[in-house]
Structure 1
Amino acid sequence: MSFKLAACIVALSIVATAASPASAQKRGGTLRLYHNDNPPSTSLLEESTIASVMPFAAVFNNLVVFDAAKVHESIDTVIPDLADSWSWDQTNTKLTFKLHHGVKWHDGQPFTAKDVQCTWRMLIGKAETQDFKRNPRKVWYTKLRDVSVNGDDEATFELTEPQPGLLALLASAFSVVYPCHVPQQVMRTKPVGTGPFKFVEFRRGDSIRLVRNPDYFKKDRPYLDEITVRSIDSRATRMLAFATGDYDITFPSDVSIPLMKDVKARAPNAICEMTSTNLQINLLVNRVNPPFDNPEIRKAMSLALDRNAFNSILFEGTGRLGGAMQAKPEGEWGMPADVLSTMMGYGPDTEKNLADAQAIMQKLGYSDAKPLSINIQTRNLPTYRDPAVILADQLKNIYIVAELDILDTPRWYSRLQRKDYTIGLNVTGVSVDDPDGNLVENYSCNSERNYTQYCNAEVDKDKRRKIVFDIERVLVEDAARPVILHSSAGNCWQPYVRNFRPHDNSQYNNLRFEDVWLDK
């Protein structure tokens, strides 16, 4: 199914849903989900993975969110959440939120502007007590001087200079508000939020259970009584379990194209669609470790990537070629094809690219008789392992012999955090299609998520549209984190699941399920 056709189908479903009377929405029932992995923790502010977002987003609220009913996220689809309204001052350096009055945390304590203030003071390192183990999105808020409060129901973000993308960043699933009165140690295992569902249980590697929040400030929400999540390691087993009706929605972007065909054959009534994911497969090279401190080797590796082969094997040609920002047509900031084709390694002459890469390696003394032996570390998920196998095969063409080192999720993120790797095959999920939510987070010098230790002062400058393409060229020429492909994937849900719509430029921001109901 093409992206345009899928979008049309979703658009028709939106119209149909909008036309349905409110009385058709049914209350009760349990939404049964499966998980493809083991969440490292329940603390969304400290994590960078959908493994934590999918099961625990429903526990929390943001100040603002992307409208779950709009398939394509943008600044124009941002709607109120804990904030009833917001406004900028004339200098565009103060963003004031009027907060919803009377909201309660799940433990009964009142939510106030102080919670907003202390959350972002923790994120920018200004809190009196700071016990985050990780702070992966601190770099989003380098222009945030402080958050001031005016009574219980008003909070103002005070910036050192305008930041046009701030509102979009605040709508990310990773921008939830935390309670001031709950220690971070508790938030990692038994989170307390204001969201539509309350945390009940997290049995690591087995199951997760959430129940309806009876005091939710959005009246009549959620419709569901419970959400249960079961961990299943095998993707084939997961697909079979969904097809036989054991689960209601597949894990985000978990359905490959070959498996999509199998699911549809087994469950012809299931609703399935292919969509862009804003996930990018990329090559990580720790440029501190010899011999990869030599930019020529990094250039050769980048030139050796045959992106069309990755696309054919992994996605049957439905993946997107692009740079660091999400590829067009879904990407708001993606490079046009004529610009992309001028980038190193992206041109159509893959044979010339490979010959140039071989010449570089030969000049450095490598050959079939004298190869460079390496380990490629990657995460123990099919979406990582499969492209890692292709990468290892392609690197043989430039005299690099690689063995795969497969790591479970906690060890994978721990290694990346410590920069304890040399070569890695990574899949980077971007929660917000905005330069401040991607280029800043993944490439700026002081970001925790700059896993390759790449640092270029030019990249740390302002990154709005007029210079994004120039930044992209610098990243490609420096082989900062060579992007192999932007992936596509399938999502399926049972026909009785209502008001669920995967988004086409982020898989993170529509997983709260507060508007979902079961028509059975």
Structure 2
Amino acid sequence: MKIKLLRAATAGLFGIVLATAAHAQKSGGVLRVYHNDNPPSASLHEEVTIATLMPFMALFNNLVIYDQTAKQNTDSTIVPDLAESWSWSPDNTVVTFKLRDGVKWHDGKPFTSADVKCTWDTVTGKRDSGWRKNPRKEWYSNLKDVTVQGDRQVSFHLGRPQPSFLGFLAAGFSAVYPCHVPGRDMRTKPIGTGPFKLASFKSNQSISLVRNPDYWKKGRPYLDAIEWRMVPNRATRVLAFSVGEFDLTFSQDISSRLAADIKAKAPQAICELAQFNIQTQLLVNPIAPFDDPRIKKAMMLAIDRKAFVDILSEGQFRIGGVMEAPPEGVWGIGPEQLADVPGFTGDVSKNREEARTILTELGYGPDKPLKIKVLTRNLPIYREPAVLLIDQLKQINIEGELEAVESSVWYNRLLRKDYNVATNSGGSALDDPDVMFYEAYACGSERNYTNYCDKDMQARFDEQSSTIDPVKRKALVNKIDHDLQAAGVRPSIMHQRGNTCWYPYVHGVSPPQNSHYNNWRFEDVWLDK
């Protein structure tokens, strides 16, 4: 059976759709957005955080992209971007893209197939562009070569069929970079082909984007500029939005309780609840004494997931495994399929009694608690779960001390494995098995924060990845998901849901229901005021 992911999509049809959709839009105006953090850099390929992606995705283009108006990222919503069409070889191992003509980088230089090759040669490690980090290298372990045929055609050669591959290229992080700009410059003064140019990036203060007058998509963007201001205090930024100081909140930054507060102050505001592919996980670095699996099992038994969901979200969060929880998640499993995994179901009191018994056998108890530091990122969606985890672990004689660190050092601490226990409210760019499994659990992956490595499991990753039949593939994915949770590898505590809010005069905002990493191009956003 051949992969038929939007084979040979054409630019002509796409242009008709855009022209129809653009009929009522107004041009001009400045969109004001608050930022809840300080981006570690502006380089999409080097970062893994929405803090970088949401403000800077608008500077770039991909080869293909998820439809920015679709409410769910799926294979069927992938549309052309810098590639105006594509086709697969008969054996589904080569995908060839026909590139658009007349596209320019923000500095006026022409975009060509060489830029595409440079970008993915860097991602796969064949070229040194001066990047400090390369977190998505594992996505492309099956990519063997990128070849060009003139300036307007490029081919990606895979080692085996891989149904997920086109989705990798559609992800918000998968921008095409310019060959002529050093990696160090992309961190602070990025150059793209996108609808907006960078005017300024002031760390811990603001980000200013201005309209790209030479954008290849005629009539886009509608906005003259986007102004971002960093507001680290949640109460301050929510109040500022409520009184009209901002037009749009940061993605999924608003809890159900805060959404109610906003509606009370600004009843005209639109707040849309979505599951955004962020899950809170328990990370245990397997160094003494945490290399004893009994300690991790005791921690798993101590977790009361329902309490997390009720306290932190008033029942809005969901419980699931590795993959994004259903019904929003395409591949995920729910608590009923995880009933035999310690801590997912059963009587909480009995679970914790079993946990205390385990720790007693290891020499810990009320008079000699196991003392740990719980590392987390200094943001509410990280810090609040960490505080609750510490409280729950206390019930089994584990005494935790919170260590909250700023975003600028958070990922570096995880990458260096510089922690014992951590809570990670980590996201994935795609609701896709290959992304989750290879990025977070593959041997040697940069984002494999617990150094997990199981060759047999890795072979199972490869098996599901190359399975073309979606029904068979989902069965394989569900079993892998269950087994990773049963082994206590990055136990999932909850899948978060949150609100993004905006005012009715802001049009073209469309947060999808299964990710918040792919729909921030902003080229279709316009203001009616």
TM-score range, shorter chain: over 0.9
> Counterpart amino acid of 2:522?
F
Give the direction of change, closer, same or farther, for the CA distance of 1:18–1:168 in structure 2 (3 Å limit): closer
Give the direction of change, closer, same or farther, for the CA distance of 1:59–1:20 in structure 2 (3 Å limit): closer
Give the direction of change, closer, same or farther, for the CA distance of 1:106–1:252 in structure 2 (3 Å limit): same
Q: In structure 2, what is the Cα distance between the partners aligned to 1:318 and 1:448?
A: 32
Q: In structure 2, what is the Cα distance between the partners aligned to 1:37 and 1:518?
A: 25
Deviation of the 1:20 alpha carbon: 9.0
Q: In structure 2, what is the Cα distance between the partners aligned to 1:22 and 1:279?
A: 32
Q: Deviations over 1:165-196 (max 9, x none)?
A: 01111111111100000000100100000000
Matched, 1:159 2:168: no
> Counterpart amino acid of 2:174?
S
- Secondary structure of residue in 2 paired with 1:259: helix
Aligned to 2:79: 79
- Secondary structure of residue in 2 paired with 1:115: helix
Aligned to 2:4: none
Pick from 331, 336, 339: which aligns with 2:337?
339
Superposition pairs for residues 199-218 of structure 1, below 5 Å? 199-218=198-217
Aligned to 1:263: 262
Superposition pairs for residues 349-360 of structure 1, below 5 Å? 349-360=347-358
Q: In structure 2, what is the Cα distance between the partners aligned to 1:105 and 1:45?
A: 17
Give the direction of change, closer, same or farther, for the CA distance of 1:19–1:105 in structure 2 (3 Å limit): closer
Q: Deviations over 1:98-127 (max 9, x none)?
A: 111111000000000110001000000111
Q: In structure 2, what is the Cα distance between the partners aligned to 1:233 and 1:457?
A: 42
Q: What is the TM-score when the length of structure 2 is the normalising length?
A: 0.93
Matched, 1:487 2:486: no
Asked if the contact 2:335/2:345 (under 8 Å) is kept, the reply is no
Deviation of the 1:337 alpha carbon: 4.6
Aligned to 1:29: 29
Q: In structure 2, what is the Cα distance between the partners aligned to 1:436 and 1:327?
A: 16
> Counterpart amino acid of 1:165?
S
Identity over aligned residues, as a percent?
A: 54
Aligned to 2:475: 466
Pick from 377, 383, 386: which aligns with 1:385?
383
Asked if the contact 1:172/1:509 (under 8 Å) is kept, the reply is yes
Q: In structure 2, what is the Cα distance between the partners aligned to 1:180 and 1:460?
A: 34
Matched, 1:329 2:327: yes
Pick from 502, 506, 510: which aligns with 1:497?
506
Give the direction of change, closer, same or farther, for the CA distance of 1:52–1:369 in structure 2 (3 Å limit): same
Asked if the contact 1:295/1:478 (under 8 Å) is kept, the reply is no
Q: In structure 1, what is the Cα distance between the partners aligned to 2:349 and 2:481?
A: 23
| Aligned length, in residue pairs | 502
Q: In structure 1, what is the Cα distance between the partners aligned to 2:268 and 2:328?
A: 27
Deviation of the 1:21 alpha carbon: 7.5
Aligned to 1:308: 306
Give the direction of change, closer, same or farther, for the CA distance of 1:299–1:168 in structure 2 (3 Å limit): same
Q: Which runs of 5+ in 2 are unaligned?
A: 1-16, 465-472
Q: In structure 1, what is the Cα distance between the partners aligned to 2:415 and 2:21?
A: 49
- Secondary structure of residue in 1 paired with 2:458: coil
> Counterpart amino acid of 1:301?
M
Give the direction of change, closer, same or farther, for the CA distance of 1:173–1:23 in structure 2 (3 Å limit): closer
Superposition pairs for residues 56-455 of structure 1, below 5 Å? 56-127=56-127, 129-287=128-286, 289-455=287-453
Q: In structure 2, what is the Cα distance between the partners aligned to 1:377 and 1:442?
A: 18
Give the direction of change, closer, same or farther, for the CA distance of 1:247–1:20 in structure 2 (3 Å limit): farther
- Secondary structure of residue in 2 paired with 1:251: coil
Asked if the contact 2:41/2:188 (under 8 Å) is kept, the reply is yes
Deviation of the 1:499 alpha carbon: 1.1
Q: Deviations over 1:202-249 (max 9, x none)?
A: 000001101001111111000000011000011011111111111111
Aligned to 2:3: none
Q: In structure 1, what is the Cα distance between the partners aligned to 2:424 and 2:74?
A: 26
Give the direction of change, closer, same or farther, for the CA distance of 1:21–1:83 in structure 2 (3 Å limit): closer
Asked if the contact 2:209/2:225 (under 8 Å) is kept, the reply is yes
Asked if the contact 1:281/1:425 (under 8 Å) is kept, the reply is yes
Runs of 4+ in 1 over 6 A off after TM superposition: 17-21
- Secondary structure of residue in 1 paired with 2:456: coil
Asked if the contact 1:42/1:191 (under 8 Å) is kept, the reply is yes
Asked if the contact 1:148/1:155 (under 8 Å) is kept, the reply is yes
Pick from 500, 511, 515: which aligns with 1:506?
515
Asked if the contact 2:505/2:527 (under 8 Å) is kept, the reply is yes
> Counterpart amino acid of 2:403?
D
Asked if the contact 1:35/1:230 (under 8 Å) is kept, the reply is yes
Q: Deviations over 1:18-65 (max 9, x none)?
A: 999744210000011111010000100000000100110100111111
- Secondary structure of residue in 1 paired with 2:45: coil
- Secondary structure of residue in 1 paired with 2:31: strand
Aligned to 1:43: 43
